[in-house]
């Protein structure tokens, strides 16, 4: 399971950055989101599974979720969030040097979803690629990569996190279906005097826990077949809820002290600061979810 931590602050003082000699901090220059129009309440789930609003709220804290329209795809959600982030930072598509898109629900198997966003934005021949399989940690991992790219040569990177999980999940599996929804978020990362600086980030993966959350069918190990589709395995989210929650609550043994220390060091330099921490991977689970939901 991937884990990430990130610390940010509002950059007002000039901070020397390695690699490019740029006096401005590397951080968030624009933010955007996209939420599909349809809002699904907990009461609506009673049409599909044996549940109630009280049961869901008690176990997850979730009251509503967004559901993408039949005509919307992953690239549509990503594009809307990307445009909002560009507008927020007063950027044009031509100002972007790279696109990183984190998703577990791609537009198609091949090519990357980022390629569809690239051509629809009209940004030209720049690096565009997906990060997949990291769940909730994917967006923060993408921010970490974008920060390193900006530190290397001062480029502006468009980072997008998008999931259209309602197309992937089994709507009759009460253990998982009430947890998920559809949405997209985006950020422009790069150097700038007003950037919300990404001070430090750490990341790590525990591959030994790969079996506690995922969709097993559809890859090369368990290929898609007519029989497996008829069994609904292509939409069966395997989730050991209690173990996911426990692992998500554990600190990143090696990374957190280092990242937190860096955040404390830079936070003490003065000026208006804002600190935030990225949470470890806990895909689909709210803070009150101790799952499995039974």
Task: Specify the pTM.
Answer: 0.79
pLDDT at 244: 77
Residues of the chain with pLDDT under 70: 1-22, 251-294
pLDDT at 85: 98
pLDDT at 70: 97
pLDDT at 146: 97
pLDDT at 18: 42
pLDDT at 112: 97
pLDDT at 23: 78
pLDDT at 91: 97
CA dist 284 and 294 (Å) reads: 16
């Amino acid at each position: 399971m991937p884990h990430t931590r990130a610390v940010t602050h509002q950059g007002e003082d000039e901070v020397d950055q390695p690699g490019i000699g740029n006096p401005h901090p590397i951080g968030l220059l624009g933010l955007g989101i996209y939420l599909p129009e349809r809002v699904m309440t907990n009461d609506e789930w009673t049409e599909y599974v044996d549940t109630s609003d009280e049961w869901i709220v008690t176990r997850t804290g979730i009251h509503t979720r967004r559901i993408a329209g039949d005509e919307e795809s992953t690239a549509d959600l990503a594009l809307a969030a990307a445009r909002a982030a560009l507008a927020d930072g007063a950027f044009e598509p031509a100002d972007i040097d790279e696109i990183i898109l984190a998703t577990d629900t791609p537009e198609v198997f091949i090519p990357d979803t980022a390629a569809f966003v690239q051509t629809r934005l009209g940004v030209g021949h720049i690096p565009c690629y997906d990060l997949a399989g990291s769940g909730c940690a994917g967006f923060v991992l993408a921010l970490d990569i974008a920060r390193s790219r900006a530190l290397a040569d001062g480029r502006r990177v468009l980072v997008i996190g998008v999931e259209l999980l309602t197309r992937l999940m089994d709507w009759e599996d009460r253990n998982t279906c009430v947890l998920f929804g559809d949405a997209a978020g985006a950020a422009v990362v790069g150097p700038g005097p007003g950037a919300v600086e990404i001070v430090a980030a750490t990341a790590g993966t525990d591959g030994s826990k790969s079996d506690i959350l995922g969709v097993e069918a559809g890859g090369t190990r368990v290929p898609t077949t007519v029989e497996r589709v008829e069994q609904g395995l292509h939409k069966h989210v395997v989730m050991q809820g209690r173990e996911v929650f426990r692992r998500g609550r554990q600190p990143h043994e090696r990374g957190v002290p280092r990242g937190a220390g860096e955040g404390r060091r830079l936070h003490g330099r003065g000026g208006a600061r804002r600190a935030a921490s990225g949470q470890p991977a806990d895909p689909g689970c709210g803070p009150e979810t101790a799952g499995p939901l039974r």
